[in-house]
Amino acid sequence: MGRTVIEPGRKIRVLVVDDSVVIRRLVTLALQEDPEIEVVGSAANGAIAVQRIPQMNPDVVTLDVEMPEMDGLEALRRIRKEYPHLVVIMFSTLTSRGATATMDALTLGANDYVTKAANVGALDRSIAALRQELIPKVKQFFHAPAPPSTPPPVSAPAPARPAAPAPVVAGRRTGPRKAIVIGVSTGGPTALAEIVPLFPENLSVPVAIVQHMPPMFTRLLAERLQLKSKIRVVEAEPGMVMEPGKAVVAAGDFHLVLKRDGQKVSCVLNQDPPENSCRPAVDVMFRSALEAYGGNVVAAVLTGMGQDGLRGVEVLRPAGAFVIAQDEATSVVWGMPGAVVRAGLSNAVVSLPGIVPEILKRLNGV
């Protein structure tokens, strides 16, 4: 999915849908502070929202889950059927029920989600918290066209072309690949649901996954992946041993550190400061993989906003790790994998269906 081009002078049009007047007002105030975003309307339930979409022609719909008459999930089904390319961002509560509904929404085709801040306090703090989370998630799906280039005067020398990033010279591995490490964010639950079931039951190495998600969401993600997969998939716990044929998903709000003790590698969870505004952070896990396994890993950076994973790849790749980046065409947002590719740090750029075959090929020494 490529980002939608917003022509110069046009704002990103947002329709806000929530049964709470207070929430609709908060979301509107938060979004309107950004000069590139315009709230074109609101609706108190999904039925009204579906009616208003053709009238208001939004680029984005923010959609609450629990609403009367037509809830967010049913509205999402209708929107995906009638407007398959319209960006939908769900609002979720940090509860088990909220996490379940959000995972259902992502399965139904929601592009992303934000969590409702609880007990933030004053109105200005509520708006600031909402603005910090929601605005980047709205804008990640859009970009302005590049300005037209003006041809240089005939007498002027042509400007030098920017040099492509120099390829990184990989270090020599000291043995067979010992682990698979995966970092992913926006679009990740759907991507993981497609690729994790492709790992064979006799997978010879462990898998560590960092998906940017809050507490409860990561546990539910692991449980849903387990239902579809041949390998074991669990949420990481302190002291959990990394084993062949088992995937651990970093727990929400905790960094996942892989720590070697003799022949054993275990999970360490901590609440050190966020990196790249994330906890768990891919960079933290990737750096720890270098300490635990050296360069004997296959690292995959999948769809996601920002550049989390880039700094970790910067140390893994020179140590001999094989680095795979998801391609732009199959990424929901080509931020994280794009940063790795632009830095010249990817060994292979692969479509989502090809990620696991590429990983398995590299595990086998090809």
**How far apart (Å, rounded) are the C-alpha atoms in residues 216 and 196?**
20
Q: Residue 329 in contact with residue 353, Cβ under 8 Å?
A: no
Q: CA dist 334 to 22, 103, 239, 342, 349, Å?
A: 34, 21, 34, 11, 12
Q: Residue 4 in contact with residue 59, Cβ under 8 Å?
A: yes
**How far apart (Å, rounded) are the C-alpha atoms in residues 98 and 293?**
37
Q: DSSP of 294-355, one letter per residue? A: TT-EEEEE-SBSS-TTHHHHHHHGGGT-EEEEE-TTT-SSBSHHHHHHHTT--SEEE-GGGH
**How far apart (Å, rounded) are the C-alpha atoms in residues 136 and 131?**
8
Q: Residue 191 in contact with residue 198, Cβ under 8 Å?
A: no
Give the three-class secondary structure for 227: helix
Instruction: Give me the catalytic one of 42, 92, 185, 288.
Output: 185
Q: Are strands 87-92 and 60-64 parallel, antiparallel or unpaired?
A: parallel
Tell me whether residue 255 is one of the annotated catalytic residues: no
Tell me whether residue 212 is one of the annotated catalytic residues: yes
Tell me whether residue 261 is one of the annotated catalytic residues: no
Instruction: Give me the catalytic one of 18, 71, 308, 327.
Output: 308
Instruction: Give me the catalytic one of 42, 212, 283, 331.
Output: 212
> Half-sphere exposure of 161 toward its Cβ, with a 13 Å CA cutoff?
3
- 32: tokens are 């309107």
Q: Are strands 37-43 and 12-17 parallel, antiparallel or unpaired?
A: parallel
Which DSSP state fits 33? Answer: T
Q: DSSP of 149-164, one letter per residue? A: PPPPPTTSPPPPPPPP
Q: If we measure between CA atoms, which residue out of 257, 259, 280 comes closest to residue 269?
A: 257
**Residues identified as active-site:** 185, 212, 308
